[in-house]
Amino acid sequence: MFEGIVPPGEGPPIHVHRNEDEVIHVLEGTYKFWLDGSTTMLAASSSIFLPRGVPHTFQVIGPEPGRNLAVLTPGGFEGFFLDVAGEALTIPGDMARIGEIAEGYGLEFVGPPLAAL
């Protein structure tokens, strides 16, 4: 479980978790989620289930940052974020290295961020 703060207009590239199911609960802001080709808007106090093996991403909509609580199960994926932070890697500049780290956690980037679609 971790808390994420996402700048306006931002979000991760489309990705697939091979090992974990994910639930994201929106704490602040408005998020647009893309799940296997379908989009859903979520405001604060709303949640979405993102099953393992299904491509997904999100984007924060509006002028304010978004804040969310993400829960991935089973545990262990939190190491991905520690590894990326430990090397001070950023999206999009370091995607090649981030992709290498992701492979070790069963994470695959399969498309662009939602803002690029």
First-to-last alpha carbon distance for the chain, in angstroms, is: 28
Give bridge partners of residue 60 from the DSSP assignment: 31
What angle in degrees, to the nearest 10, is found between the helix axes of 78-86 and 95-103? 140
What integer pLDDT is reported at residue 16 of this predicted model?
98
pLDDT digits (tens, 9 = 90+) for 12-58: 999 999 999 999 999 999 999 999 999 999 999 999 999 999 999 99
pLDDT digits (tens, 9 = 90+) for 47-100: 999 999 999 999 999 999 999 999 999 999 999 999 999 999 998 899 999 999
Q: Which amino acid is at 33?
A: F
DSSP 18: S
Quote the pTM value. Answer: 0.93
pLDDT digits (tens, 9 = 90+) for 98-112: 999 999 999 999 999
Is 69 within 8 Å of 29 (Cβ atoms)? no
